[in-house]
Amino acid sequence: MSSVKKTASAEDQQQINKFARLHKNFLELKNELSVLNNETQNLGDADDEIMLLDDEDAASIPLQIGSIFVHYNQETASTKIEEAKVKATKRIAELKLRQTQLDNELKELRAILYAKFGDNIHLEMEAED
């Protein structure tokens, strides 16, 4: 087969640009999901540690809110952590839904662009280490 290069029309260029924007958004979502998953894990670990505290240490537990620490008793601290976990879990579900939507859009655009340009265009995501 000959490798005849096809020229990109304005519409093709718009589709390529859209793919690039969607891919960037997809990677940003992936990064945010990773951060939120770590945060959820850390909150769970913190809640477990709070449960293990003795009465003396459990009287004043510092929780970081923004750039300051606020001291709470064991019950309130545990409640605050649980609320943060619920909020993070809800956000994770929202981001996963959006990520699925973006992935579907990327697959559609990838199919369209590969149909037109074949091997002359590279739209595959790089494998991560």
Burial class (CB in 10 A: 0-12, 13-18, 19+), 87: middle
Has residue 93 been placed in a domain? yes
Has residue 111 been placed in a domain? yes
Has residue 77 been placed in a domain? yes
Has residue 34 been placed in a domain? yes
In CATH, what number is assigned to the domain containing residue 32?
A: 1.10.287.370
Residue 99 contacts residue 33 (beta carbons within 8 Å)? yes
Q: How many helices (H) and strands (E) does the chain have?
A: 3, 2
Structure tokens, 115: 């149909």
Number of structural domains the chain divides into: 1
Has residue 88 been placed in a domain? yes
Q: 75: domain range?
A: 11-120
Q: pLDDT tens string for the chain (129 positions)?
A: 445 566 778 888 999 999 999 999 999 999 999 999 999 999 999 999 998 888 888 889 999 888 999 999 999 999 999 999 999 999 999 999 999 999 999 999 999 988 888 877 877 766 554
Taking the C-alpha atoms of residue 19 and residue 112, their distance in angstroms, rounded to an integer, is: 11
Has residue 129 been placed in a domain? no
Has residue 126 been placed in a domain? no
Taking the C-alpha atoms of residue 12 and residue 14, their distance in angstroms, rounded to an integer, is: 5
Has residue 127 been placed in a domain? no
Q: Which residues of 95-121 are buried (b: 16+ CB within 10 A; e: fewer)?
A: beeebeebeebbeebbeebeeebeeee
pTM of the predicted model over 0.75: yes
